[in-house]
Amino acid sequence: MIKVGSRDSRLAVVQAEEVCRALGDCELITMKTLGDMILDKTLDQVGGKGLFVKELDRALADRRVDLTVHSLKDVPMEQPEGLPLVAYTKREDARDALVLPQSGEWDKSKPIGCSSARRRVQLAALFPEIEVKPVRGNVLTRLDKLDRGEYGALVLAAAGLHRLGLENRITRYFSPDEIIPAAGQAILAVQGREGELADEVKQLDDADAHDCALAERSFVRTLGGGCFAPVAAYAETEGDYIHLRGLYVTEDESRSARGAVTGPRSEAASLGRTLALQLQKQAEGTL
Catalytic residue check, 73: yes
Please, which residues bridge with residue 192 across strands? 67
Catalytic residue check, 95: no
**Residue type at position 144:** D
The catalytically annotated residue of 57, 66, 74, 211 is 74
The catalytically annotated residue of 91, 136, 169, 221 is 136
The catalytically annotated residue of 49, 91, 95, 142 is 142
The catalytically annotated residue of 7, 49, 73, 221 is 73
The catalytically annotated residue of 91, 95, 118, 163 is 118
The catalytically annotated residue of 63, 133, 144, 227 is 227
C-beta atoms surrounding 81 within 10 Å: 8
Positive or negative: CA dihedral 80, 220, 245, 230: positive
Query: What does residue 243 show for φ and ψ, rounded to 5 degrees?
Result: -115, 125
What is the rounded CA–CA span in Å between residue 34 and residue 51?
5
Contact partners, residue 229, CB within 8 Å, separation at least 6:
117, 223, 248, 249, 250, 251, 253
Q: How far is CA 187 from the centre of its chain?
A: 8
Give the ranges where the chain is alpha helix by DSSP (H).
10-23, 34-37, 43-46, 54-61, 117-126, 139-147, 158-163, 198-202, 207-222, 268-283
Please check whether residue 242 is in contact with residue 212, taking contact to mean a CB–CB distance below 8 angstroms.
Answer: yes
CA proximity to 30, closest of 47, 48, 50, 14: 14
Catalytic residue check, 227: yes
Catalytic residue check, 74: yes
What is the rounded CA–CA span in Å between residue 209 and residue 1?
27
The catalytically annotated residue of 91, 119, 163, 221 is 119
Contact partners, residue 80, CB within 8 Å, separation at least 6:
57, 61
Catalytic residue check, 118: yes
What is the rounded CA–CA span in Å between residue 87 and residue 192?
9
Residues involved in catalysis: 73-74, 118-119, 136, 142, 227
